[in-house]
Amino acid sequence: MPNPQPKKGLFQFYLHNLVWVGLSIVAIILDQWTKWIASTSLNYADPVPVLPFLNWTLLHNYGAAFSFLSDAGGWQRYFFTSLAGLVSVIFVFWLMRMPKNVKVLPLAVALILGGAIGNLIDRVSLGYVVDFIHVFYNNSHFPAFNIADSAITLGTILLLIDTFFLEKRRIQAAEKQHD
């Protein structure tokens, strides 16, 4: 008698997850659009006040988060491009295999994926990432960032929430179904 369970192979994708891929695409488009606006409207390193704690300041980041390794001599561009490309492929596979009842985890993965690809596009096409959101308080300045960085950060927070709080509930619910 054939097994009624669907196959769970590496390429078993679920069409309902195209919504999450769509969210990643929205994040990429929003990121690239705002970077284009910043690049065409702002003068490099010239702050434009928005709020008492926020400026639009066009900056180019040749490194990773918070300009990590920005002075490393150029090899970091290829390293971060390769890393982002590899992680993006893995995340697409992971995202497309999510069960329908899970909501926070695919949201987190979709945001991280969209942000990673948004910054990857900059690295490949420009050799640096465009940053323009500059938050500060008095003389304390947070490193400039962009929409992709915001998506990655929010996605990471949601991933941590899912990992530390929601995964345990999913495991307990699955155990109750098998009892």
Question: What pLDDT, in 10s, does the model give residues 151-169?
Answer: 999 999 999 999 999 888 8
- φ and ψ at 163, to 5 degrees? -65, -45
Q: Taking residues 66-76, what's their average pLDDT?
A: 55
- Model pLDDT for residues 109-137, shown as the tens digit of each residue: 999 999 999 999 998 999 899 999 999 99
Report, as an integer, the average pLDDT of 51-55: 98
Q: Give CA separation, 9 vs 12, 50, 93, 130, in Å.
A: 5, 51, 11, 39
31 belongs to the catalytic site: no
pLDDT mean over 86-107: 93
* Catalytic position from the list 46, 71, 122, 149: 149
Q: Is 164 exposed, middle or buried (0-12, 13-18, 19+ CB in 10 A)?
A: exposed
Active site residue 162: no
19-23, 47-51, 61-65, 85-89: which range is least confident on average? Answer: 61-65
Catalytic member of 71, 131, 162, 179? 131
CA 116 vs CA 60, 66, 80, 86, 105: distances in Å = 16, 15, 10, 10, 16
pTM of the model: 0.85
